[in-house]
Amino acid sequence: MFIEIEDLKAEPLHVRHVFPVDEIRFSHADASLSEPVTADFVLTHHDRDLHIQGTVETAIAFRCSRCIKDFTRPFSSSFDLFYAPQPDWGAVSTEIELKYEEMEVGYYDGVSFDVNAMILEQIELAIPMNFVCREDCQGLCDQCGADLNEGACRCKKEEPDSRLSVLLDFQKKKVQKEE
């Protein structure tokens, strides 16, 4: 979806659109979009400077980096962005520099605004560096590959930890005495 700046008339321009997964070119080694992306935003503009506020919603299928199971999670992110025509940096005036210095500004060609690219960027900025199914995912045993979320595997028990076995023996004796 492109917004032609020449055609912008009444503001604010309210856009609500559902983008099929293949229109948003999201590519990630461990994740993919599992639902169409709903974008809902309001665009106001001053000349060719754009101000866009809204949300993107979809669902993301990912592989947990610890237990390597596949999961799907709803995803939503809100944004508040400013875009300006790409300045001619060769002839940039101090006035323009001051104007943009204080704000995080994205640039576009000043003619047509690429909504898909903006949506893709918002998704990429908001996804985590590492996908985990839950914060305390125990992952897999590095020896036998068992899923430690489903309980400890035998490898742990076979670990020769004398302090632990002494403690266990002590508890066993204590339980026997109490019985």
CB of 83 to Zn ion, least distance (A): 38
Interface region with Zn ion, contact rule CB under 5 A, candidates 9-17, 18-26, 60-68, 168-176 = 60-68
Q: Answer whether 118's CB lies under 8 Å from 96's CB.
A: no
> Which one of 92, 144, 152, 166 is in contact with Zn ion (CB under 5 A)?
144
Phi, psi torsion values for 171, nearest 5 degrees: -65, -40
3-state secondary structure 3-44: EEHHHCCCCCEEEEEEECHHHCCCCCCCEEECCCEEEEEEEE
CB of 166 to Zn ion, least distance (A): 23
> Which one of 93, 143, 165, 171 is in contact with Zn ion (CB under 5 A)?
143
CB of 127 to Zn ion, least distance (A): 16
The H-assigned helical ranges of the chain are 94-101, 115-126, 154-158, 162-178
Residue 152 sits in the site that holds Zn ion (CB under 5 A): no
User: Using CB under 5 A as the criterion, which residues of the chain lie in contact with Zn ion when the complex forms?
Assistant: 64, 66-67, 133, 137, 141, 143-144, 146, 153, 155
